[in-house]
């Protein structure tokens, strides 16, 4: 059965409510039985600048952002300026004639006047609700019942009082009526997907839910865009599950508190973004040295420094892997879509607990602020990570907290639970925990700590922690990581449809320790390897070069917005 896809972009000034419009529309369209992929990007300022929300509704899979749009709804002239070139040749511009002046750039594309300001004023006596006029009109374009939008607007604006809700519901009704009269021909005929057990979440929410499912009981935090919503979610929800989220004075203090809680036996997770991870770096080494399990969700944004806090970039990889003083074992992971944000968070906490190491999960602004409807995770599949506890009959005199075991994992007693005392310090120490700086001891203990990564690396391969598509006889392959998964997958499908050329795809979820054997096997038959990344320098490609001595073709994008499948199709075809 043919699938239908509709991509709508709404653009306007920050503060005008583009994001609220997009959020409510997304929920209504998902409730209307479509798969959605919704992305937003906005400036770092609270008001002003250009805010954009893009919604892709589809009765097929909607895995990635699209560069070209079927419908551009321009609330102001800035949005028209920025996005007119992205309207498909058979697409349509919806615009408010009071604010948007059309020029040659629109070419032969269709335009339909949507006087948002005038309709809002007439229906509600104010301009404030013009974003909801747009929402009502777009509901009609997606052929979704207007009641869905009105109910969801009631929930969205509920805390602002009944008058605000009533005003917005009036605006939605007016926009919907206008669209039925003036743009009925652009309605899309979707095949509605029957009721499914799904939830609509973004990457941040999925990570936060994953943390709860993983049994996290302490979340020390310090707010930073775009990771703050994870902390806010957990502050709100974790107490219901017996846990606690506490704000500290900065990232260093929050991680230090996390190590304390972890030492005391709690499962700990914190969320931050690049600058916060930099601040945490030395405390992270303390976690590695004291072998205290800890999970950090690092939501990458454009950097360095304050950089572009509300824009996406895959640029913290090198820092996550190598940003240590001394040699400090850690595991670096990267979920590949929203659903995966849930499961990789669960897995990260499990790995941290089992191997007693810090685990850094690299998501990014694009995942954080992309919403998708995903299957409700089956909680019976959640496997909790347990620390290796000392046997009950352990002799306190001979007990070694940092025992030099075969896989490097040593028994970790919980103070007050196990009657075993030990010293835990950032200084190099003996298996018993006492400071010791002899060459032989340092070598022994460094090797012991790193053996945990070797053990983990073996398991990574066994459990195939990679998403793979590897048809027979292919000569071209792509290795990607993190949020580029959807765009790469769609690009490969498109290339095959256009040219008949098949392309292999490997997308490791655990980036370090690398699933080396699996990657070597993947590279074996290839004549060309392409590594697309959303950064300027090709960080993962360099990592692979260092490990395997290969020379991949690198595709870089450092624009602050994610790859689209169309962009990748173009770039990959050039290489083919």
Question: Binding residues for ligand COA, per CB under 6 A?
Answer: 14-20, 42-44, 46, 51, 128-129, 131-132, 157, 160, 164, 168, 225, 309-310
Select 287 or 297, whichever has its Cβ closest to ligand COA. Answer: 297
Q: How far is the CB of 547 from ligand COA (least distance, A)?
A: 35
Angle at 347 between CA 450 and CA 374, to 5 degrees: 150
Q: How far is the CB of 341 from ligand COA (least distance, A)?
A: 20
Give whole-number Cα distances, 568 to 165, 227, 559, in Å. Answer: 42, 27, 14
> Residue number with the shortest CB distance to ligand COA?
17
Select 41 or 58, whichever has its Cβ closest to ligand COA. Answer: 41
Q: How far is the CB of 314 from ligand COA (least distance, A)?
A: 19
C-alpha 293/C-alpha 349 separation (Å) is: 8
Q: How far is the CB of 34 from ligand COA (least distance, A)?
A: 22
Select 310 or 373, whichever has its Cβ closest to ligand COA. Answer: 310
C-alpha 155/C-alpha 545 separation (Å) is: 51
C-alpha 161/C-alpha 140 separation (Å) is: 26
Q: DSSP of 347-360, one letter per residue?
A: HHHHHHHHHTSEEE
Select 168 or 312, whichever has its Cβ closest to ligand COA. Answer: 168
Select 51 or 488, whichever has its Cβ closest to ligand COA. Answer: 51
Give every CB contact of residue 542 below 8 A, 6+ residues apart in sequence.
318
Task: Say if CB 273 and CB 227 are below 8 A apart.
Answer: yes
C-alpha 476/C-alpha 495 separation (Å) is: 12
Q: How far is the CB of 258 from ligand COA (least distance, A)?
A: 22
C-alpha 487/C-alpha 359 separation (Å) is: 26
Q: How far is the CB of 419 from ligand COA (least distance, A)?
A: 47
Select 78 or 168, whichever has its Cβ closest to ligand COA. Answer: 168
443 φψ region: left (φ > 0), alpha (ψ -120 to 50), beta (else): alpha
Select 310 or 314, whichever has its Cβ closest to ligand COA. Answer: 310
* Nearest of 186, 188, 166 to residue 178 by alpha carbon: 186
Phi, psi of 562, rounded to the nearest 5 degrees? -70, 160
Q: How far is the CB of 304 from ligand COA (least distance, A)?
A: 14
Omega prior to 229 cis, within 30 of 0? no
Could you tell me the two tokens for 83? 């996005």
Distance between first and last Cα of the chain = 31
Q: How far is the CB of 309 from ligand COA (least distance, A)?
A: 4
Q: How far is the CB of 75 from ligand COA (least distance, A)?
A: 10
Select 129 or 474, whichever has its Cβ closest to ligand COA. Answer: 129
Find the DSSP H helices in 97-227: 116-124, 130-141, 146-156, 162-182, 203-213
Select 51 or 286, whichever has its Cβ closest to ligand COA. Answer: 51
Task: Say if CB 100 and CB 76 are below 8 A apart.
Answer: yes
């Amino acid at each position: 059965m043919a699938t239908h896809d509709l991509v709508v972009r709404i653009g306007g000034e920050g503060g005008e409510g583009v994001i609220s419009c997009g959020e409510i529309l997304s929920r209504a369209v998902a409730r209307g039985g479509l798969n959605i992929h919704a992305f937003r990007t906005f400036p770092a300022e609270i008001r002003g600048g250009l805010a954009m929300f893009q919604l892709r509704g589809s009765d097929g899979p909607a895995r990635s952002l699209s560069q070209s749009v079927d419908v551009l709804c321009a609330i102001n002239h800035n949005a028209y300026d920025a996005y007119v070139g992205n309207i498909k040749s058979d697409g349509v511009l919806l615009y408010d004639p009071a604010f948007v002046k059309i020029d040659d750039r629109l070419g032969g594309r269709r335009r339909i006047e949507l006087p948002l300001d005038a309709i809002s004023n007439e229906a509600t006596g104010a301009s404030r609700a013009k974003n909801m006029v747009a929402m009502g009109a777009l509901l009609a374009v997606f052929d979704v019942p207007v009641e869905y939008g009105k109910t969801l607007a009631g929930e969205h604006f509920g805390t602002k009082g009944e008058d605000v809700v009533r005003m917005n519901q009036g605006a939605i009704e007016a926009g919907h009526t206008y669209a039925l009269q003036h743009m009925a021909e652009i309605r899309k005929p979707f095949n509605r997907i029957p009721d499914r057990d799904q939830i609509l979440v973004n990457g941040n929410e999925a990570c936060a839910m994953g943390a709860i499912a993983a049994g996290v009981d302490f979340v020390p935090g310090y707010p930073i865009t775009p990771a703050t919503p994870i902390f806010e979610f957990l502050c709100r929800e974790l107490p219901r599950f017996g846990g606690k989220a506490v704000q500290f004075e900065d990232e260093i203090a929050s991680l230090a508190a996390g190590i304390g809680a972890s030492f005391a036996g709690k499962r700990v997770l914190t969320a931050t973004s690049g600058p916060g991870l930099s601040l945490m770096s030395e405390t992270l080494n303390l976690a590695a040295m004291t072998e205290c399990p800890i999970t950090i969700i690092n939501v990458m944004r454009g950097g360095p420094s304050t950089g572009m806090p509300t824009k996406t970039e895959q640029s913290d990889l090198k820092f996550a892997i190598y940003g240590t003083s001394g040699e400090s074992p850690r595991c670096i992971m990267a979920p590949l879509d929203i659903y995966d944000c849930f499961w990789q968070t669960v897995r990260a906490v499990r790995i941290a607990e089992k191997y007693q190491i810090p685990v850094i999960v690299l998501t990014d602004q694009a995942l954080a602020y992309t919403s998708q409807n995903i299957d409700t995770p089956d909680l019976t599949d959640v496997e909790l990570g347990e620390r290796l506890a000392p046997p009950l009959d352990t002799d306190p005199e001979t007990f070694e907290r940092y025992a030099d075991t075969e896989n490097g994992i040593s028994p970790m007693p919980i103070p007050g639970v196990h009657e075993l005392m030990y010293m835990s310090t950032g200084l190099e120490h003996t298996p018993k925990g006492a400071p010791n700086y002899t060459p032989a001891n340092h070598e022994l203990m460094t090797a012991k700590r790193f053996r945990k990564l070797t053990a983990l690396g073996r398991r990574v391969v066994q459990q195939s922690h990679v998403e793979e598509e590897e048809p027979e006889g292919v000569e071209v392959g792509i290795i990607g990581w993190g949020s580029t998964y959807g765009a790469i997958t769609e690009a490969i499908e498109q290339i095959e449809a256009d040219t008949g050329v098949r392309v292999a795809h490997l997308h490791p979820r655990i980036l370090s320790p690398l699933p080396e054997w699996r990657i070597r096997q993947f590279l074996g038959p290839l004549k060309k390897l392409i590594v697309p990344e959303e950064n300027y320098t090709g960080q993962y490609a360099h990592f692979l070069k260092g490990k395997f001595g290969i020379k991949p073709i690198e595709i870089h994008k450092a624009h602050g917005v994610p790859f689209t499948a169309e962009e990748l199709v173009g770039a990959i075809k050039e290489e083919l």
